[in-house]
Amino acid sequence: MLNKPIKANSIEVEFFTSKQYGDNVETLEFEVNAWLKNQPKNIVVQDIVYHHCGRTPKGDIVSVAIISSPQE
Sheet with 59-70, side-by-side order of all strands: 12-17, 59-70, 43-56
The rounded distance, in Å, linking the Cα atoms of 41 and 29 is: 21
The rounded distance, in Å, linking the Cα atoms of 36 and 10 is: 17
Q: What is the pLDDT of residues 19-45, one digit of tens each?
A: 898 888 889 999 999 999 999 999 999
Q: How confident is the model at residue 2 (pLDDT cuts 50, 70, 90)?
A: low
In a domain, 23, yes or no: yes
In a domain, 2, yes or no: no
In a domain, 3, yes or no: no
In a domain, 51, yes or no: yes
In a domain, 12, yes or no: yes
Annotate 20-44 with b (16+ C-beta within 10 A) or e (fewer).
ebebeeeebeeebeeeeeeeeeeee
Q: Where are the alpha helices (DSSP H) in the chain?
A: 25-37
* Number of domains forming the structure of the chain: 1
pTM of the model: 0.81
| Residues spanned by the domain of 47 | 8-70
